[in-house]
Amino acid sequence: MTPDDPAPAAPDTPAAPTASTAPPAPTAPSAPAAPPPPVFVKRHHWIVRLTHWVNAIVLVLMVASGLQIYLAYPRFGLRGDASVGLNPFEGVDFPAWARAGGWLAGALNIHFFLMWPLMLNGLLYLAYLAWSGELRWLVFRPRDLPRAVQMQLYYLRLRKQHPPQGKHNALQKAAYCSIVALGAAAVLSGLAIWKPVQLSWLTALFGGYEWARYWHFVTVWVFTGFLVVHVALVFLVDPASLRAMLTGWYRGRFPSEGA
């Protein structure tokens, strides 16, 4: 090599990594996006809300006056004859706070007076459901039976996830349809007791006067049980539905339409 020859090139050496060429540090997986908050939607028409609360007040007073009437003769059967039906309340003296009317005549006046708003209120409610089309969301159909079973398992804490539903779940539809039939039985048995001679054919359908009294009394306790369970489930499962029944507007986790 002469002084005029170029110096040999140095061998290539790998460049030290820089911040721009270093591999990116692993990042934690991002959390799933939170669902959007529920919005207020119109859930109940004013007719539904009106008939609901009128029904609640009338039913409570009907039950209270009915207990006062029952205590005037607290058994089912003619004097000296065996009682008809099973009556676990025979001999029970219901407290004064649970009764209305003060005495037999006063309780009868309240009971017979409230019979008319109870029937008219029920007819108005059913007429609105049929006219608005909401009746199709409330009728219990055979396909609702498996859903009702799943809903019952959820209430019994044997199922973790709430079953999918429309405006009403399957058990609600079964209960509401049953309560309409029960209301009809209560009204008809009450008429059979009120006019046993003029409506003798109706009284005979219930098995006679004492049996009509008995079945009328049974409806009282079924209604009472329904009211207790209904109120309990409102607070335990969907408290937002109480506000909806007061204002008509709902912001909760369940749909406001659909079957």
Query: Is position 32 within any domain?
Result: no
| 21 against 115, higher pLDDT | 115
113 located within any domain: yes
- Secondary structure element (H or E) that encloses residue 250, with its range: strand 249-250
Q: Is residue 225 part of a domain?
A: yes
Percent of the chain exceeding pLDDT 90 equals 42
pTM of the model: 0.75
In a domain, 8, yes or no: no
For the stretch 94-153, pLDDT in tens is: 999 999 999 999 999 999 999 999 999 999 999 999 999 888 888 888 888 988 898 888
Closest CA to 51 of 137, 133, 113, 118: 118
- Look up residue 98 and give its DSSP letter: G
- Per-residue pLDDT tens for 208-230? 999 999 999 999 899 889 989 88
Instruction: Kindly tell me if the per-residue pLDDT of 28 is higher than 70.
Output: no
Task: Evaluate if residue 48 carries a pLDDT over 90.
Answer: yes
The residue type of 196 is P
Number of domains in the chain: 1
H or E segment and range at residue 213: helix 209-237
Asked if residue 110 lies in contact with residue 75, where contact means CB atoms within 8 angstroms, the answer is: no
**In whole numbers, what is the pLDDT of the chain averaged over residues?**
84
Q: How far apart are CA 171 and CA 226, in angstroms?
A: 12
- Which residues on adjacent β-strands are paired with residue 42? 249
In a domain, 20, yes or no: no
Q: Kindly state whether residue 215 falls inside one of the protein's structural domains.
A: yes
Q: Can you give the pLDDT at residue 26?
A: 59
Q: What are phi and psi of 249, to 5 degrees?
A: -100, 140
pLDDT digit string, tens, across residues 63-86: 999 999 999 988 888 777 778 888
Query: What span, in angstroms and rounded, lies between the C-alpha atoms of 207 and 226?
Result: 26
Residue 255, classified by CB atoms within 10 Å of its CB into exposed (0-12), middle (13-18) or buried (19+), is middle
Residue tagged 């409570």 (tokens) = 60
Residue 5, in any domain of the structure: no
pLDDT on residue 14: 54
- What is the domain extent for residue 179? 42-76+87-250
Judged by average pLDDT, the poorest of 143-147, 234-238, 249-253 is 249-253
With tokens 């209270």, the residue in question is 64
Region label for 111, one of left (φ > 0), alpha (ψ between -120 and 50) or beta (otherwise): alpha
* Structure confidence at residue 65 (pLDDT): 95
CB-CB contact of 226 with 249 (8 Å): no
- Any idea what the CATH number is for the domain that residue 198 is in? 1.20.950.20
pLDDT at 124: 95
Domain-located, residue 56: yes
